[in-house]
Amino acid sequence: MRAAPAERAAGRAAAAEPSCPANPVSYASLHCCLTAVSEPHPARVAPERPDKRTFLQKVAEFIHPGPDSTAGLIETLADAEDNDIIGPESRVMLEGVIRMAELTAGDVMVAAPRMDLISIDSDYDDILHLVIDTAHSRFPVYERDRENIIGILLAKDLLKLQRAPALNIRALLRPATFVPESKGLNDLLREFRGNRNHLAIVIDEFGRVAGLITIEDVLEQIVGEIEDEFDIVEDEGDIFGLADRTYRVSGDTSIARVNEAFAVKLADVEDEREFDTIGGLIAHRMGHVPKRGETLELAGLQFVVLHTKGGAVRWFKVSPAEPDGTSA
């Protein structure tokens, strides 16, 4: 009897296919050999591709699904730094952004007693001396009463008076921006960028002037203190000699270090317990917030205020005091 067509087809297919060994290990070896024969040029191991994820993508993937509190987020950023996902500078800036969301203008403003104001009735020479002494670029201007701020004067606008002496100071004023103490720094920064103002007058709940705040004050909450031409790298020291044989001393220098450097005793035991820095001690002895150009003699040394910022002395010029009270 002849086989059915279907059976004959199955037989031919079986004859065409090699039979698989019963031993699975042998079959696996055979499969590897056949694969190698069928691929004369085996695929090479692909080189490791550079990570093209952005910095924000790395952070987002690391914190997913994300902490549920500010403290948790800051802790997560610290973990990200430990795992080399972000650098220390990036972590500090990100923490600054996070913390800034909780701060208001009243938290970082320069208080009203420390504001450098210009009277609209002041002479040009008086205004020029104030600009030089304080080294500010913008000044609130008041009329009659310090609470009555009528505008902002830019120091560079004073140059216009050189060409037109008859020009009135009032014509140089820019509009003043007023913000409440409760104004969030995020919103304030957005406004600074939008209206291109770099200074705002802060008012309290009763409408009185509480202080002022600048865009620099806001940005320093993110990037840290913005250095100017008076700042030096910390590694360069906080006391160093000048060409005229005087010394430049940072206001943050400890009293003990100044004592050691100049072989003097600046404060008694009680003052040393109350003040840590030379800036704090000098302000206490003066009885007010020091201003640029003011001097004080202490323990045979003449301290001249070179630069202030935010109501604190940044730099002193120090020299031995003569018996008549003048510096050497």
Question: Which is higher by pLDDT, 67 or 94?
Answer: 94
Name the pLDDT band for 326 (thresholds 50, 70, 90).
low
SS3 228: coil
Examine the pLDDT at 80 and tell me if it is beyond 50. Answer: yes
Q: What are phi and psi of 196, to 5 degrees?
A: 60, 20
The superfamily (CATH) of domain 106-223 is CBS-domain (3.10.580.10)
Cα 27 from Cα 15, distance rounded (Å): 18
Question: Which is higher by pLDDT, 238 or 119?
Answer: 119
Answer yes or no: same fold for 106-223 and 234-320. no
The residue ranges of DSSP E strands in 155-196, in sequence order, are: 178-180
Q: Strand 312-320 vs strand 145-154: parallel, antiparallel, or unpaired?
A: unpaired
pLDDT per residue as tens digits for the range 202-245? 999 999 999 999 998 888 887 766 555 444 444 445 788 776 67
Cα 210 from Cα 265, distance rounded (Å): 38
Examine the pLDDT at 25 and tell me if it is beyond 80. Answer: no
For the full predicted model, state whether its pTM sits above 0.75. Answer: no
Which of 152, 150, 211, 154 is closest to 179 using CA atoms? Answer: 211
234-320 belongs to CATH 3.30.465.10: yes
pLDDT score of 101? 82
Tokens 């004023």 belong to residue = 173
Domain map (residue ranges) of the chain = 55-102, 106-223, 234-320
